[in-house]
Every structure is written in structure tokens, then in C-alpha cells.
Structure 1
């Protein structure tokens, strides 16, 4: 009798689940077969986080330009490679001289993270020598738009970034410039650009009052000069570190960088996190080293091999499938406690880039990363259904000509169906 009751209960449970999936499938098929989706490419995969059962699948094996959904892979790489505290400097102290090199740590005096661990450490030493040969990467990622050089989201990569590699300019009521090293390089006049293309000459109209955030051109000499301006002392340079064992100085909590990267879709932090991860792995700051390592070791069982060329998703050369995204999200769900994981991702209607989107009734039901480039919009993450069950999803939309707001609106309709039905 007990066996019969158990089998009957199991049958009812399976039937109910099958009925829910059928309702979701019919609703999604109706939406995706509409004329709105006729001239674009769309891929969808939704799975149950607990059972791993597929709830809905459409073109999930096909490649899409992910935009900032790429940061999900960057987050995974950083969580696998980095300790709780970010390595901020490596150094060797010989006699009365401190030789130091960057780790790629983006938090060093970052305008929003504001970590001063490295600065305070350097201030304690009289004779400083900066070594930069461990940075073996390009300033820009492959496929980045060249004419984005003046916009905050396209700051250059470097081995020892300072102030997020951007100049912050505002009036309060006098002209305020950070880093102060660049104060004499700011002209108060109207110009079509925020900065010269080939030099660190910046423009700030006299009538402007808000803060302008503009990337500066990095170089070893510029890094040295900014440091000297901050420390009020000379900084020497050397081509290589001494042969002694390097020591590591640790700085900010890693989660503060992960939250900033995911909530604000901070491209600079994403790129630098790959450099820091590569440095921990190999002692060389090169993003390709960590990307290759993660794909060949931690993600070798992905059903489709991604084309992963940067940390931020600025490049249209990146190619990922919805199955790729869901697989990594699934691994993150296993790797990181749910409360911490959901705090790293933007919450619909509550935080980050989703603060005004995908709003829940009383509490968030979406914890996800959006990704947008012109004519492309993707959203991948976690959905908490009204039943309490967690779904892992990836919606990837490429090459549409309608507005992104309309694309999001239609996506929200499908997400609400998942929330209310499953």
C-alpha cells in the first residue's frame, strides 16, 4: 500500500511538472513566433537549478554575441583563481630600496572602490623602484571600437592602474581634477571631444557642472609621474625585478570588485580582474592566459567551445551559446552560497543595471546580468519562481532593429510566465 501511494504521488508530481513545462513552452513559442522576432536571432535555455531538468530550449546550441554577459565568465574565472583579498602589489625589499610591480589590481585609488592599501604601503618606504615588465597584454581588447577612447567605459588596461585609469573632472565650485597630476592638462573650453585622441589633453566646458569621467593614455612614464605626484617623492624604474622571492601585498575584499563589475557592468574592473587572475596563475599579466586556462581546465566539458576574447564583452568577437551561459551559471550556483551569489548579481527592481527593470511584486525575482551592444541584448542569471524554485536561464537576442526597451519588455513577459507558472 505504501509503495502504491508513493508511486501515485510521484506520478502526480511528474504530471504537474510536465503540465507546467507544457504551458511555458506554448506561451514561449507563441511569443517567439510573432513577427517581432522574425528578423532577429534569439536563443533561450531555462533549467531547474535543483533537478537540472530542461524547462525550455530554443536555439540554445547556437552562438550569439553576448555583450556584457561575458562578465559571467570573468566572474567565474576570478572566483576560481583569486583569494578573498585582492593581491594589490608584489615587491622585493633589498637593502634600503623597495622594488615593486603591479598585479593589475583595479581598486588602487579607484574613484568608486577607493582602496589605498598600496599607496599607504609605498608611503612608508623612502627609495622606490617601479618595475613594469610583467604586463604582457594590449591596452585595448581585440575588436574594441577605436573611437570609444574618450568614454569612461573604455579605459585602457595596465599592470598598475591608478584611479581606474580615468580622469575625474568636476566643479565644486572650483575645477576639481583627479588624479591631480592632470590638473594642468585640463582646458576649460568647449570641444567636440572630452580628450585628444593621441595625447592626455582634456576639455571641460566652463558652463558644465556635472562630473566627467575620461580615460587617460597610460604608459610607464605616466604611471611613474602620477605616483610621484601622490607620494611627494621620486620613483625610480627598472627593467626587471631582483632575483629574490617576491612578496605579495593584499588589498580590498574581492567581492567589492565582483559586485561593482556585475552591478554597474564595469568594463575596466572586468578586464583587470582577468589580469590579476593571470598574475596569480602565472606571474604574467595577460588576459588570454587565464581565459585559456579556464576553458581548458575548469570548463573543458562545455558542449560548445566559446570564442572568449576579453573580460568585459566590449568586443563583438566574443561568441557564446545560451548553453555556455547556463552551464557556467549552474557551476556558480554550486560553487557559491546562494545568498552571496545573489548579492553579486544585480537584482531586478532593486540594484545595479536592473534597478528599474524586471521589478518583483514584494521582492526581487530576477538576479541576472544584462548585456547590451547596439542591436544586441542578452540577459542571463537566476529566477526565483513563486513556488520558491530557482531557475537558471539565458536569453540571447542578436541583430534586432527594434528598440532595446521593446526587446526587454517582451523578455519580461516571458520571465513573468516562468515566475508565475513554474
Structure 2
């Protein structure tokens, strides 16, 4: 009898350990956490589990997880030594500034170019060369109502200071508003918006609205709730040539360089020129680190066009850039995007579609080859940096610091793709989370459903990753 008792106790303990271990395998949270109608695609694979998947072959809007595809294609096609080069060149009496699409180029960089060229006057014209890219500067499927804000700045070879300008709006005591733009920002900002109470704004269904023009004119209308401090605003440049022309006029004046002719745009560039000075960007990994951690759309879209130009030996565009990304990843990483829809390289287009399978294949290649790629370190870390520093589901233990991933957010879309770190800090478990058609109703909890879903998902992945 005593032996039987010991056996029962041992057997019960074994079952308990087995059940506990099973619970620590990756499992997907119940979709009941999310509002009815939400579409979810999930994949996960820990070292001790089989591949788990849900709706893995369906197509979803990738949002900014698409930047992972762009970044890997850039590393493969351009290489880590790649740098954008912007040059100041001369032919006869004309000076040409040849833009390359460098998304990191600043006014300070151009000022240094002018100094290095050691010119005191331009006897002819100053020509701005825009031939590096062709085609649309705005991606197919970019919503019209966000084209005036900086995260949707047009993708142009002519890029200075991110083609993003600052401004602000103040509310006045008489119910009017006033707009302000620093003198060094060459845009025109006006306002007819009225300042109202929060109650009035709600009753009138009146929000602050922005309209733009191709001549870099911006107008604010609608309503703004009364505030003590100005509301800071950032605007996407609508005409890169006009913007660059105004910038160059200021820079020439600052350096006392006299321009006899005018500033002109060239789509073809000059040939047989003499290079007076050149500026190099930081190498590709530095650009990708910024692009992935800060989810910079301008970097991603310009890199897409640069990839297309490099791969097809022609001016870059969204069309040849996205096609090049597909071809490069299929040949070199065995990631088949033949049925995916790519309209840009940033994920901003609402037309983009990829499947969890395709993202998982990308992660699998990155993980297997990271000793050569040095890619994973460029991605944000949960609760530590980049777009994951303040993500609600990731800024506190046990998730904080345990996940390296790329997020992606659009209207009604909440995505994540990346790796869970083991106890040694090594990327181990791979996962894909694509959530779309997410329309939460009135929430009885202080925690949004998407945050509850992610917390359950990632806490379980972490347990599964560190289990012995």
C-alpha cells in the first residue's frame, strides 16, 4: 500500500510537471479578447516546439513590418559599404547640385559642400539635378488626408532635412488662431481655424484640418481646443524643387556666393562635368538602424527606389524598386513574394499585402544568417528603444527587454514581427503577429483589447523561450 501511495504521488507530480511544461509551450491567446470581426494571422516557433500558425497564408496589410523586407533587400543588393553621394559639379559657367535621394542629407551638409567647392560666385545657373528617381513621388494607396504630415513626405531624389518643415498654431482669447513658421522654413502657413472648448468641439464635430498646395502653401481650418501652449506641427514638403530652391537661396546668401543666373530643375542632369565637392552619407547599416528603430518612411521609400535603380540600372521608382525587392529576396533568401502586393517600401500604402508565412520566411533567413548579416541588432527592443520603447504591451517586465521586433501600425492594424531573446540574450523564438480590422467598442477595462492580447501572447512566448 505504501509503495502504491508513493507511485501515485510520483505519477501525479510527473503529470503536474508535464502539464506545466505544456503550458509553457507557445500558444495563441483566445481571439475572444479582440472585438468581433478582427482578423488575426499568427505564427510562432520556439526551440522546443513545432511551428504554430493561424491564418498563416492569408494576406494582411503589413504596415511598417514591410520595412524588414526593404532593409534585407538593401543589405543584399547594396551592401553594408553603400553610401549615398551628393555632388556639386561644374560645366562651363553652370553649377549643378546632383541629388542622389539621400534621406539623411541636411542643410548643413549642403552648406559644407558649398564651402568645400570654394566658389565665390556662380556666373551661370544653379541646376538642381533630380534624375536619380522617376515616376510617382507618392505611393499608390497613400491616403489623401495624411499627405500633408511628415510621415508621408513625398519620396524625391531632392531631399533636404527629411523634406519636413516645422510650424505651430496658437489659440487666441477672442476665439481666433494664429500660425507661426520659423523664418528659415520656406513655406507659407495660414489659418482660419477657430479656438473652442472641448465641449464645443464635440458638439460641432469639428477638428483641426490641413489643406496643402503644390507650391508648399499650407492652410489650417476647422477647430482647435483652447490651449495655453502652442500646438507644434510638422508638414511634409509638397514640392521638393521649390523647397530646395528656397533653401539654396538662403545658403548662398549666408556664404556670400553671388548667383548671376537662376535656379533651375533638371530631370536629365549634365554630362561631362567637373566634380567640385561631394558629400557621403553614413554607411547603409547606420541608415537602416534609424529606419527600423524609428520606422522612418522617408528612408524606406527612398531606399526602395535606390534598390530599384541599382538592380535594374535605371532611374529608381516605386514600380521598379518593389519589383527589385521581390526578385532579390526570392533569389537570395528564398522568400517568395509573388502573390504579395507591394506599392512602396515603407508600408504606408493601404494597398500593400503580405502573409504571415512570407514574414516568417524572412525572419527565418535573418536568424539563420545573422552572423553575416548583423541585422537583428538594428531592430527595436521592447521597452528599450525605437518604436517599442513606449508600446503599452512591452514597456514593463516581463516583456521589457526580452523582444527584438519591428512593429507596424495603420488604421485598424496592429502588427509585430521578430524574435524573443533567451536567458543569454540570444534571439531564439520567432513570431509574427498581424492584426487587422480591429475596431474596439466601448472598453470596460482600462487596458485596450489589443494590449491584453499582446501581453498574453508575448508573456507566453517568453516563458516558452526560457524553459529548460
> Is the structural similarity TM-score above 0.5?
yes
Q: Does 1:139 align with 2:137?
A: yes
Distance 1:362 1:41 in 2: 24
* Aligned-partner Cα distance in 1 for 2:362–2:40: 19
> In 1, Cα distance between the equivalents of 2:400 and 2:26?
27
Retained in 2: the 8 A contact 1:383–1:419? yes
Within 2, Cα distance between the matches of 1:275 and 1:141?
A: 11
Q: 1:255 pairs with 285, 288, 304, which one?
A: 285
- Specify every segment of 5 or more residues in structure 1 that has no aligned partner in the other structure, as ranges: 1-17, 110-114
Alpha-carbon distance in 2 for matches of 1:98, 1:341: 40
The match for 1:177 is 182
**In the alignment, what sits opposite 1:299?**
330
Q: Does 1:78 align with 2:57?
A: no
CA 279–338 in structure 1, closer or farther in 2 if over 3 Å, else same:
closer
Match of 2:297 in 1: 267
**Distance in 1 of aligned mates of 2:421 and 2:163:** 38
Structure 1 length-normalised TM: 0.80
| 1:47 to 1:209, Cα distance in 2 relative to 1, 3 A | same
In the other structure, the counterpart of 2:205 is none
The two structures have a TM-score, normalised by structure 2, of: 0.73
Give 1:348 deviation, angstroms: 0.5
Match in the other structure for 2:420: 383
- Conservation of the 8 A alpha-carbon contact between 1:103 and 1:285: no
| More divergent stretch after superposition (238-247 vs 314-323) | 238-247
Sort the Cα spacing of 1:363 and 1:98 in 2 relative to 1 into closer, same or farther, 3 A. Answer: same
TM-superposed deviation, 1:212: 1.4
> Contact between 1:86 and 1:252, CA under 8 Å: does it hold in 2?
yes
CA distance in structure 2 between the partners assigned to 1:411 and 1:130 by the alignment: 48
Q: Distance in 2 between matches of 1:377 and 1:347?
A: 17
Alignment of 1:295-374 (within 5 A): 295-300=326-331, 301-303=334-336, 305=338, 306-337=340-371, 341-357=375-391, 358=394, 359-361=396-398, 364-374=401-411
Could you tell me which of 459, 463, 466 is aligned with 1:416? 459
Report the CA distance between 1:102 and its aligned residue.
Answer: 1.5
The answer to whether 1:186 aligns with 2:179 is no
Deviation at 1:203, TM superposition (A): 5.2
Alpha-carbon distance, 1:419 to partner: 0.8
User: Cα RMSD between the aligned structures?
Assistant: 3.5
SS of the equivalent of 1:212 reads strand
Q: 2:20 & 2:74 partners in 1: Cα distance?
A: 37
**1:218 corresponds to which of 239, 251, 260:** 239
* Offset at residue 170 of structure 1 (A): 4.9
Alpha carbons 1:188, 1:203 under 8 Å: kept = yes
Q: Which residue is equivalent to 1:8?
A: none
Q: CA contact under 8 A between 1:304 and 1:321: conserved in structure 2?
A: no
Q: 1:21 to 1:227 in 2, by over 3 A?
A: farther
Tell me: CA distance 1:252–1:194, structure 2 relative to 1, closer, same or farther (3 Å). Answer: farther
Q: Could you list the runs of 5+ residues in structure 2 that have no partner in the other structure? A: 1-17, 170-178, 195-207, 442-446
1:304 Cα shift?
A: 5.3
Q: Which residue of 2 aligns with 1:130?
A: 128
Alpha-carbon distance in structure 2 between the residues aligned to 1:104 and 1:243: 19
Mapped partners of 1:236, 1:274: distance in 2: 27
Q: 1:253 Cα shift?
A: 3.7
Cα pair distance change 1:44/1:65, threshold 3 Å: same
CA offsets 1:215-240 (integer angstroms, 9 cap, x no match): 12115344333322223354444453
SS of 1:309's partner is coil
